[in-house]
Amino acid sequence: MTGTLTPRTRPENASELNPRLDWKRIAYLILASRGLDDAEETKLMPEKKVVYQFSARGHDLAQVILGSLLDNQHDAAGAYYRSRPLLLTLGLTLEDAFAGPLRKSGGFSDGRDIGVVCNLPNRNGPIVLPMSGDVGSQYTPSVGWAQAITYHRDVLGDRSYERSIAVVLGGEASVATNGFWSALTIATTLQLPILFYIEDNGYGISVPGNLQTPLGNIAANLASFRNLYIRDGNGTEPAEAAQLFEEVIAHVRDGKGPALLRLRVPRLCGHSGQDTQAYKSPEFIAKEEASDPLPRLKRFLIPAVMSEAEFTDLERQAERDVTAALESALARPEPNPARITRYRFAEAGDDGKPEVQQVGGLAASGYVFPPSSDRPEPEAQRTNMLTAIRRTLEHELRINPRVLVFGEDVGPKGGVHAATMGLQDTFGDKRVFDTSLSEEGIVGRAVGMAIAGLMPVAEIQFRKYADPATEQLNNCGTIRWRTANRFAAPIVVRLPGGFAKVGDPWHSVSGEVTWAHAIGWQMCFPSNAEDAVGLLRAALRSNNPTIFFEHRHLLDGPWARRPYPGDDYVLPMGKAKITQKGEALTVVTWGAMVERCELAARKVGESIEIIDLRTISPWDRQTVLDSVSRTRRCLIVHEDGITAGFGAEVAAVIAQHAFFNLDAPIQRLAIPDIPVPHNNGLMEAVVPGVDSIAERMSEVIEA
């Protein structure tokens, strides 16, 4: 359904004023927002104190009205760089609003992020999810929050989530992004409580809206989309904007499903401070100026709500407050460079106590896990890695109602690798469920859910198919650092991959080095069933996001079968295992190569030490350095491509810290820089095997 209202500039009767809205506050916030924009544009940019300036002039009226209607404790907004008026409405202080762009200490990032990419961790009120600089990346975490609302309400029975909603803001260019479509699909198929608010100013920097969607109107183009309530109107008319927001928000709060509101707004400035707008004609700019919502608001309010003199007082008040806020922000100290590497991961404060983030994950709500043990209590029978993973998921689902497991085919089918077989039957389709086919949607949704206090476990069907989720994965890893520990999104992403009986370029990728380089991620790469249990449980109880790699060759491989080590078994991250002791050579390896290295060592017949790293991030440097210092020789074996593979990092650390203990050059054996081939003979020619590893072991020992 679409519709527009007849524009009016003055309230015709008192009911149009909407008693729920505090129009004086709305006027004040718009004036304050303009004051911020003015100060940045006329003073702080020319003085080069502010580098990134994205004025909200023209977008401000509608955003402040929207923010005024987000009054439920568990409402959340996903926003973007032009959303400052909304943030001011939800509680961003004027001083913090200045301190961010000024790169001062404190505030939403302690000088780490650009001032317009912010966040708001209100403990008892609507929050603003940590924003990202990538256009469109705000959408899928926002649907994650919306799904978490339904989970808290319906599964956990928390009635305080009733009538809560998520709102996500985006410009008209953002409707062309993958994130928008992924989120729209999730929201409409699951009928989630979310409002998509599209602020259509006609331009994405300089690109007109008709290059983003046919004829430039996303509301019109979505008219036949099922399960979506659509409204379209003018965001510069106070009565119209307020009525449309009321309507769509009521629809979403009433549980009738998602809504999309498109409002036309002018961008009364360049895209950012540097933009001269040469691509707009003078006539177009004049038309935009004539549709400035501020004079319209003034005409709307005077005399129905306030007198001219009262409005002038508000202007003065806003000016005084902005001036004072700027002075305080300028007086703030510079951020401390000594602390800049903090908060990549959860960590302890100066007093040794954990410094828990304000919002996100189980830790922020004080969740206490049952005791765990790093001593296995092995059962009599051995089990394969697949069953070990399934049992671990099952136990954690049973003891922790905040755990959810989802991905493509993980529901009734039980996953294409069968790791989730039977879990939906046991725990229901709210806790274990199939998703739409969008990896960005799977991971972005997990991020929003984690911020909402859940422990999402996302399965990506194969390692290679995490590619479409790269943006969400990278942004998830940096949330804690970017927000200076205000937010964190601890999630677990299960990634099956690696070669199997037959290989190919799509299903056999390992690519673990990505997670050594990515910021803020733990990366587990177990080689056997027992370690898989300990590491997966560690991930599920961790306050950091974790990639858990499930190697296809090992899922049912006989060598990897071990007794299930018990329901309390947890392994520490970053603790390698010496699988066999030796004197002549240290072999550093992980995953499916551990078995092959053990067999190769037997073939060589020398005393060879084998280290299974078990986790790639963090990794156990000390065990490697101690071993190499004893054996004085080192071979690193992995499956991922050799150039800049993780072996290169291991070799660099050994070269730096154990150089004088080496009797031979460090060597690496890995797949040459090509994908895994499909033909078996070709695959065996490139994946390190027992013979090629044995040959290289002898070479290093004899060097």
Least CB distance from residue 171 to ligand TPP, whole Å? 2
**Is residue 213 a contact point for ligand TPP (CB under 6 A)?**
no
Of 172 and 609, the one with the shorter C-beta distance to ligand TPP is 172
Q: Which of these segments, 1-9, 151-159, 195-203, 241-249, binds ligand TPP (CB under 6 A)? A: 195-203
Q: Which is nearer to ligand TPP, 172 or 530 (CB)?
A: 172
Q: Which residues contact 482 (CB under 8 A, 6 or more apart)?
A: 109, 112, 113, 117, 130
- In terms of Cβ atoms closer than 10 Å to its own Cβ (0-12, 13-18, 19+), residue 207 is middle
The least CB distance from residue 97 to ligand TPP, in Å, is 18
- Cβ–Cβ < 8 Å for 210, 216: yes
Query: What is the rounded CA–CA span in Å between residue 532 and residue 546?
Result: 13
Q: What residues between 488 and 527 interact with ligand TPP by CB under 6 A?
A: none
Q: Does 204 bind ligand TPP (CB under 6 A)?
A: yes
Q: Of the two residues 145 and 203, which places its CB atom closer to ligand TPP in the complex?
A: 203
**Gap between the Cα atoms of 7 and 238, Å rounded:** 9
Cross-strand bridge partners of residue 348:
354
Structure tokens at 699: 């070479």
| Residue 207 vs 599, nearer CB to ligand TPP | 207
Residue 11 CB, shortest distance to ligand TPP, in Å, is 29
* Residue nearest to ligand TPP as judged by C-beta position: 171
Distance CA 106, CA 6 (A): 45
- The nearest distance, CB 26 to ligand TPP, in angstroms, is 21
Instruction: Kindly state the smallest distance separating residue 55's Cβ from ligand TPP, in Å.
Output: 10
- Asked if 205 touches ligand TPP (CB under 6 A), the answer is yes
- Catalytic-residue membership of 507: yes
Quote the least distance from Cβ 201 to ligand TPP, whole Å.
5
From CA 597, how far away is CA 584, in angstroms rounded?
14
Which H or E run includes 137? none
Distance CA 191, CA 225 (A): 12
For residue 323, give every residue at least 6 positions away whose Cβ sits within 8 Å of its Cβ, in sequence order, or none: none
542 counts as binding ligand TPP under rule CB under 6 A? no
Which one is catalytic: 507, 551, 553, 638? Answer: 507
Determine, following the binding rule CB under 6 A, whether residue 171 of this chain makes contact with ligand TPP: yes
Footprint on residues 215-274 left by ligand TPP (CB under 6 A): 267, 271
Nearest distance from residue 447's CB to ligand TPP, in Å?
Answer: 16
CB of 280 to ligand TPP, least distance (A): 12
User: Which CB atom, from 271 or from 507, has the smaller least distance to ligand TPP?
Assistant: 271
Listed ranges 196-204, 398-406, 531-539, 657-665: which one lies at the site for ligand TPP (CB under 6 A): 196-204
Token readout for 452 is 């909402």
DSSP reduced 3-state for 464: helix
Binding pattern for the stretch 97-136 against ligand TPP, x by CB under 6 A and - elsewhere? ------------------------------------xxx-
Long-range contacts of 622-626 (CB under 8 A, 24+ apart): 623/575, 623/576, 623/578, 624/576, 624/586, 624/588, 624/650, 624/653, 624/654, 625/653, 625/654, 625/657, 625/658
Query: Site for ligand TPP (CB under 6 A): which residue of 34, 74, 82, 152?
Result: 82
Nearer to ligand TPP, 232 or 459 (CB): 232
Among residues 547, 689, 559, the alpha carbon closest in space to that of 616 is found at 547
Name residue 278's amino acid.
Answer: A
Applying CB under 6 A, the span of 116-124, 164-172, 410-418, 633-641 interacting with ligand TPP comes to 164-172
**What mask, x for binding ligand TPP by CB under 6 A, covers residues 346 to 365?**
--------------------
Could you give phi then psi for residue 139, rounded to 5 degrees?
-75, -50
Packing angle, helices 23-39 and 308-331, rounded to 10: 50
Alpha helices in 191-307 (DSSP H): 218-221, 238-253, 282-290, 293-301
Stretch that binds ligand TPP, among 166-174, 315-323, 375-383, 579-587 (CB under 6 A): 166-174
- Give residues in contact with ligand TPP (CB under 6 A): 82, 133-135, 170-174, 199, 201, 203-205, 267, 271
What residues are annotated to the active site?
Answer: 507
